[in-house]
Amino acid sequence: MSGPSHFRWQKAVRPIIALAPMAGVTDASYRQLIKALAPQVIVYSEFLSTDALAYGGKKTMAMMHFDPAVERPFIVQIFGKKPEHFLEAAKVVEQMGADGIDINMGCPAAKVVSSSHGSALIKSPGLAAELVHAAVRAVSIPVSVKTRLGWNTSETLIPFCTRLVEAGAQALAVHGRRFTDKFTGTADWSPIYALKEALSAVTIIGNGDIQSSQDALDRIGNLDGVMVGRGTIGNPWLLKDICDAFAGKGIHTTKDELTFAQKIPFILEHCKRAVQTKGERKGMLEMRTHLAHYVKGMEGAKELRSRLVRVETIEDVRKILNA
């Protein structure tokens, strides 16, 4: 717990560069790793259930743990559908010392949508606005929303987002796909540019298909910032490359510039942070996915991967990588 947060989306340094909230990926160890590489990146928690937060669920509360010394500004992403739980959950998030609350209205996972959470809220704009209003009413920290272009059309994006802003949302991060697209095809950013034109006073961040710093430069257009998710898995250096590109330090791809030997200390550091925050068993279990991505595209990657997905200790990782 800490003093009041002074973070405001309108005052955040432009362009905003954010790490997208990703279930099973953006835990404390990953966020800290990203912040060590690119301190100005805004980081989000994995999405947390408002139902669990309202009832004080231990596992969910633990997922909200962050290091205020390195992770600020830290945004907690929540999901759910009950306004009374949003009210309670928002208070808990503020008391924990987070700098902002983000509401997930974009997750397309079947399990999430079938419970009327995530992307399903796009079909219920009245309820979506009510959830924003409940969170805004409960706290003094800013409330934002992450959503998609629409359910099966992008025609609804502006009216939907206008309602969220009227309910008190200060910022919107929009993934350039509809719910029906899931993660297929190419992200379409043009409706996001149109949204910024329509809501010029609101912080609008674009998200989808950013795999390089050149992509970020090409796509930002009239937006306030970019949010990068899947492109960072196995390549956490990507956000540093993007920060450098926007700072006028040229276009480069750190991942390709480093030899694998140079990446090893970094990968081990990621393992160390995972173990520190979650204990050895759980930390290393969750690191296995990251490790498989770190060696992707390398010579002998298949054999390496089959060994890395069975590691149980940092020492196991060190031996495999150094060999």
Residue 252 C-alpha from the chain's centroid: 23
234: alpha, beta or left? (left if phi > 0; alpha if psi -120 to 50): left
> Is there a contact between 213 and 15 (Cβ–Cβ < 8 Å)?
no
Residue 105: Cβ within 10 Å count: 27
> Is there a contact between 136 and 168 (Cβ–Cβ < 8 Å)?
yes
Between CA 120 and CA 150 the distance in angstroms is 10
The candidate with the shortest Cα–Cα distance to 76, out of 108, 53, 110, is: 53
Sequence-distant (6+) residues with CB within 8 A of 245 are 213, 214, 216, 217, 251
The candidate with the shortest Cα–Cα distance to 81, out of 142, 130, 19, 40, is: 130
24: alpha, beta or left? (left if phi > 0; alpha if psi -120 to 50): left
Decide if 243 is catalytic.
no
Active-site annotation, residues: 107
